[in-house]
Amino acid sequence: MASATLQYGSSVESFFNVVETETLALFEPSSFEFLEEFDVFAPAETGRTREHEPPEMMRGFFHCYHYDIYGIRPVERKLQNIGVLLSCGFDRPPSRDAVDRFLTDLEHVVDEVFNHLVEQATARGLLDVTYCIDSTDVKAVPADQDASKCSDPTDEEYYYGYGCTIVSTGQEIPIAAEFTESKQAAEETAMCVTRDALAVAKPRWIIGDRSCEVRC
């Protein structure tokens, strides 16, 4: 998947939009200070500092994606709201350039960030003995040339974007995921994502489509 996809929020969206809790409750068990350890978020060699720190920017994107707000301009507009600013830890609204820069940098380390968050969820006992595996659609903007017209057999309609196979547990916390060209994933993809999830922890049950349950 090309970098343009991440710049419009597609793959980051697929991770965050499966979480069905209020964002303040979502922030409570999560710490984003680890982002400051990544070189990609370090100040530029020219001495230019960041307008806002990575943890508060991450909280801002968490909030926006939770409410189906994607794209640089819509996110920048949403982060003008005083209530959102306070809950995410901002002292002033971020500029459009700051939003764009953070998402562009996040593109380079999104897999590592995902793994860090899964490790946090595991360490804090947020996972349970049942894993759920399912596929979802990830809609893309028309400018994303790597996306394609996909069929959604569940709703009997078409959309422009990608598919994503996700394994979640606990309070619908995603612990493994893989992107696909369409919503319907091949058996090989499902097995690959399941193996990744089993590497996190071994569940008692895995629930998939068609109400099938597999005892581990």
Q: What is the pLDDT along the chain (216 residues), one digit of tens a residue?
A: 333 333 444 445 544 443 333 455 556 656 888 998 898 888 766 655 677 889 999 999 988 887 878 788 999 999 998 888 888 888 899 999 999 999 889 989 988 998 898 888 888 888 888 898 888 877 777 777 778 888 776 667 788 888 888 898 877 788 898 888 777 777 788 888 889 999 988 888 888 765 344 445
State the pLDDT at residue 19: 38
H or E element at residue 83: helix 82-88
- Determine the pLDDT at residue 18: 39
End position of a domain, from candidates 123, 143, 169? 123
Domain termination site, one of 63, 97, 123 = 123
Q: What is the pLDDT of residue 20?
A: 36
Q: Is 172 left (phi over 0), alpha (psi -120 to 50) or beta?
A: left
> Which domain does 98 fall in, by range?
3-123
Whole-number pLDDT of residue 21: 39
pLDDT confidence of residue 93: 92
Residue 2 confidence (pLDDT): 36
Same domain, 181 and 85: no
Verify that 114 and 134 share a domain, yes or no. Answer: no
Q: What is residue 148's three-state secondary structure?
A: strand
Residues 8 and 108 in one domain: yes
pTM: 0.71
Whether residue 7 is found in the same domain as residue 89:
yes
CA nearest to 215, candidates 125, 122, 131, 127: 131
Strands 205-207, 130-139: parallel, antiparallel or unpaired by DSSP? parallel
**136 and 101 inside one domain:** no
Distance CA 214, CA 194 (A): 11
